[in-house]
Structure 1
Amino acid sequence: MSLSLTTSYAQCPKGDQAYSLLQYDEAIKAYTKCLNKNADNAYLLDRIGDCYYSLGNTVMAAMYYKRLIADSPDFGSGITKYGDALLRNGQHEDYDRFVDSLIAAHPSNKQYARMKTLPMVTQTESQYEVHLAPFNSQSADFSPAFYGNALVFSSSRSNDKKRDKLTGDNFTDLYFFDTISQSVEQMKLPFSTKYNMGAAAFSKDGKTMYFSANQPEKSLNQTINKVFLKIYESTFSKGTWSEPKLFIYNFELANNTHPAISHKGNLLVFSSDINSSMDLYHCIKEKSGYWSKPVKFPDYINTKTGHEVFPTFLNDSTLIFSSNGIGHPGYGLDMYKTVWNGKKWSFPERLSEPFNGQGDDFGLISADDMLSGWFTSNRESSTGHESIYGFYKRLPIAGKDDKKSIAPLLIITGTVNGGGKPLPGALVSVSYSPGNFMKMISDSLGTFNAQWQHDGEAEVEFEVMKPGYHSEHGKALLKRTADTMFFTFAFDLKPIQEDEEITIKNIYYNYNKWDILPDAASELDKLIIYLASHPSVSIELSSHTDARGDDRYNQILSQKRAESARKYLLDNGIEASRIHAIGYGESKPVNHCTNTVKCSEAAHAENRRTEIKILGL
Structure 2
Amino acid sequence: MYYTTDTRPRAPKINFMVVMLLALLLSACGTGRYISKGDKRFGQEQYQRAIEFYKQALPNADNKGELNYKIAEAYRLSNRISEAEPFYQAAISGNFRKEDAYYYYGLALKANGKYEQSLKELQDYIRVGSNNRLKALAQQEVENYSNLTEILRKNENFEVRPIPGLNTDASEFAPFVLNNELVFSSTRGGKEYMGNGEGFLNLYAAALTDTAVGAIRPFEGVNQEEIHEAFATFIDEGRTMVFARGNEGSRKGRQNVDLFWSTFRSGAWTEAKLLNINSPQAWDSSPAFSPDGKTLYFSSNRRGGQGGHDIYKSTLENGRFSTPVNLGPEINTKGNESFVSVGPDGTVYIASDGHPGLGNLDLFRIEDGKPINLGKPVNSPGDDFGIYFQDEYTGYFSSNREGGQGGDDIYAFSRSKRKTVNFFVDGTLYQRREGAKQTTVSNNVVVLQNEQGQKVDETTTDANGNFTFPLDSASTYSLVSEKQGFFTARQRVTTVGKMPSQDQLPEQENEVRLTAELVLNQIVKERAIVLENIFYDYDKADIRPDAAEELDKLVQILVDNPRISIELSSHTDARGSDAYNQDLSQRRAESAVEYIISKGIDRSRITARGYGESRPVVRNAQTEAQHQRNRRTEFKVVRVD
* Interval of TM-score (by shorter of Structure 1 and Structure 2): 0.5 to 0.7
Q: What is the deviation of 1:90?
A: 3.7
Kindly provide the amino acid, as one letter, of the partner of residue 52 in structure 1: Y
Q: What is the deviation of 1:332?
A: 0.2
Q: What is the deviation of 1:205?
A: 1.0
Distance 2:207 2:196 in 1: 28
Kindly provide the amino acid, as one letter, of the partner of residue 417 in structure 2: L
Q: Which residue of 2 aligns with 1:208?
A: 240
Q: Which residue of 2 aligns with 1:604?
A: none
Kindly provide the amino acid, as one letter, of the partner of residue 238 in structure 2: G
RMSD (CA atoms) = 3.9
Kindly provide the amino acid, as one letter, of the partner of residue 384 in structure 2: D
Query: Where do residues 429-468 of structure 1 align in structure 2 (5 Å cutoff)?
Result: none
Q: Deviations over 1:479-517 (max 9, x none)?
A: xxxxxxxxxxxxxxxxxxxxxxxxxxxxxxxxxxxxxxx
Asked if the contact 1:332–1:359 (Cα under 8 Å) also holds between the matched residues in 2, the reply is yes
Going from structure 1 to structure 2, the CA distance change for 1:103 and 1:174 (only over 3 Å counts) comes to: closer
Q: What is the deviation of 1:18?
A: 3.6
Distance 1:294 1:402 in 2: 43
Kindly indicate which of the two structures has a greater share of residues assigned to helix: 2
Distance 1:116 1:290 in 2: 42
Asked if the contact 1:262–1:316 (Cα under 8 Å) also holds between the matched residues in 2, the reply is no
Distance 1:169 1:125 in 2: 35
Distance 2:126 2:195 in 1: 38
Q: Deviations over 1:390-435 (max 9, x none)?
A: 11122329999864599xxxxxxxxxxxxxxxxxxxxxxxxxxxxx
TM-score (norm 2): 0.52
Q: Which residue of 2 aligns with 1:236?
A: 264
Query: Where do residues 176-575 of structure 1 align in structure 2 (5 Å cutoff)?
Result: 176-180=205-209, 182-194=213-225, 195-214=227-246, 216=248, 228-275=256-303, 277-286=308-317, 288-304=318-334, 306-315=335-344, 317-327=346-356, 331-339=359-367, 346-369=369-392, 371-380=393-402, 385-396=407-418, 403-404=503-504
Distance 2:361 2:500 in 1: 43
Q: Deviations over 1:212-260 (max 9, x none)?
A: 12155667xx5xx877222111111222211212222221143221111
Q: What is the deviation of 1:347?
A: 2.2
Is 1:147 matched with 2:178? yes
Asked if the contact 1:203–1:209 (Cα under 8 Å) also holds between the matched residues in 2, the reply is yes
Distance 2:378 2:173 in 1: 15
Going from structure 1 to structure 2, the CA distance change for 1:245 and 1:82 (only over 3 Å counts) comes to: same
Asked if the contact 1:57–1:382 (Cα under 8 Å) also holds between the matched residues in 2, the reply is no
Kindly provide the amino acid, as one letter, of the partner of residue 266 in structure 2: K
Going from structure 1 to structure 2, the CA distance change for 1:202 and 1:33 (only over 3 Å counts) comes to: same
Asked if the contact 2:336–2:354 (Cα under 8 Å) also holds between the matched residues in 1, the reply is yes
Kindly provide the amino acid, as one letter, of the partner of residue 281 in structure 1: Y
Distance 1:90 1:131 in 2: 21
Q: SS of 1:85's equivalent? A: helix
Q: Which residue of 2 aligns with 1:448?
A: none
Q: Which residue of 1 aligns with 2:195?
A: 166
Distance 2:83 2:364 in 1: 28
Is 1:19 matched with 2:50? no
How many percent identity over aligned positions?
Answer: 28
Kindly provide the amino acid, as one letter, of the partner of residue 388 in structure 1: I
Asked if the contact 2:233–2:287 (Cα under 8 Å) also holds between the matched residues in 1, the reply is yes
Asked if the contact 1:173–1:186 (Cα under 8 Å) also holds between the matched residues in 2, the reply is no
Q: SS of 1:285's equivalent? A: strand
Q: SS of 1:395's equivalent? A: coil
Q: SS of 1:166's equivalent? A: coil
Going from structure 1 to structure 2, the CA distance change for 1:245 and 1:44 (only over 3 Å counts) comes to: same
Distance 2:376 2:290 in 1: 26
Asked if the contact 2:170–2:406 (Cα under 8 Å) also holds between the matched residues in 1, the reply is no
Q: What is the deviation of 1:26?
A: 2.4
Going from structure 1 to structure 2, the CA distance change for 1:106 and 1:268 (only over 3 Å counts) comes to: closer
Going from structure 1 to structure 2, the CA distance change for 1:298 and 1:397 (only over 3 Å counts) comes to: closer
Distance 1:383 1:69 in 2: 31
Asked if the contact 1:361–1:377 (Cα under 8 Å) also holds between the matched residues in 2, the reply is yes
Q: What is the deviation of 1:78?
A: 2.2
Q: Deviations over 1:76-105 (max 9, x none)?
A: 332233233233324457657x65995999
Q: Which residue of 2 aligns with 1:156?
A: 187
Q: What is the deviation of 1:284?
A: 1.1
Going from structure 1 to structure 2, the CA distance change for 1:241 and 1:78 (only over 3 Å counts) comes to: same
Kindly provide the amino acid, as one letter, of the partner of residue 83 in structure 1: G
Kindly provide the amino acid, as one letter, of the partner of residue 182 in structure 2: L
Q: SS of 1:60's equivalent? A: helix
Asked if the contact 2:254–2:280 (Cα under 8 Å) also holds between the matched residues in 1, the reply is no
Q: What is the deviation of 1:116?
A: 7.2
Going from structure 1 to structure 2, the CA distance change for 1:277 and 1:14 (only over 3 Å counts) comes to: farther
Going from structure 1 to structure 2, the CA distance change for 1:358 and 1:215 (only over 3 Å counts) comes to: closer
User: How many pairs does the alignment contain?
Assistant: 381
Kindly provide the amino acid, as one letter, of the partner of residue 308 in structure 2: S
Q: Deviations over 1:436-487 (max 9, x none)?
A: xxxxxxxxxxxxxxxxxxxxxxxxxxxxxxxxxxxxxxxxxxxxxxxxxxxx
For the pair shown, the structure with the greater C-alpha radius of gyration is: 2
Q: What is the deviation of 1:385?
A: 0.7
Going from structure 1 to structure 2, the CA distance change for 1:292 and 1:356 (only over 3 Å counts) comes to: same
Q: What is the deviation of 1:11?
A: 11
Q: SS of 1:189's equivalent? A: coil
Q: Which residue of 1 aligns with 2:19?
A: none
Query: Where do residues 116-131 of structure 1 align in structure 2 (5 Å cutoff)?
Result: 117=146, 119=148, 122=152, 126-131=156-161
Distance 1:68 1:249 in 2: 42
Asked if the contact 1:218–1:253 (Cα under 8 Å) also holds between the matched residues in 2, the reply is no
Kindly provide the amino acid, as one letter, of the partner of residue 242 in structure 1: T
Name whichever of 41-50 and 289-298 sits farther off: 41-50
Distance 1:403 1:382 in 2: 39
Asked if the contact 1:217–1:227 (Cα under 8 Å) also holds between the matched residues in 2, the reply is no
Going from structure 1 to structure 2, the CA distance change for 1:27 and 1:227 (only over 3 Å counts) comes to: farther
Asked if the contact 1:324–1:334 (Cα under 8 Å) also holds between the matched residues in 2, the reply is yes
Kindly provide the amino acid, as one letter, of the partner of residue 353 in structure 2: N
Q: Deviations over 1:289-321 (max 9, x none)?
A: 3211222221232223x1111000114642111
Q: Which residue of 1 aligns with 2:7?
A: none
Q: SS of 2:148's equivalent? A: coil
TM-score (norm 1): 0.54
Asked if the contact 2:244–2:257 (Cα under 8 Å) also holds between the matched residues in 1, the reply is yes
Q: What is the deviation of 1:45?
A: 2.4
Distance 2:218 2:125 in 1: 53
Q: SS of 1:205's equivalent? A: helix
Q: Deviations over 1:138-193 (max 9, x none)?
A: 211101012122210111222x2x10111101112111121149313223413531
Q: Deviations over 1:20-56 (max 9, x none)?
A: 4433212323443554553535443223112223445
Q: What is the deviation of 1:263?
A: 1.4
Query: Where do residues 35-114 of structure 1 align in structure 2 (5 Å cutoff)?
Result: 35-36=58-59, 38-72=61-95, 75-91=98-114, 99=121, 102=124, 111=139
Which structure 2 residue ranges, 5 or more long, are not aligned? 1-32, 130-134, 421-498, 507-641
Distance 2:126 2:283 in 1: 42
Q: Which residue of 2 aligns with 1:495?
A: none
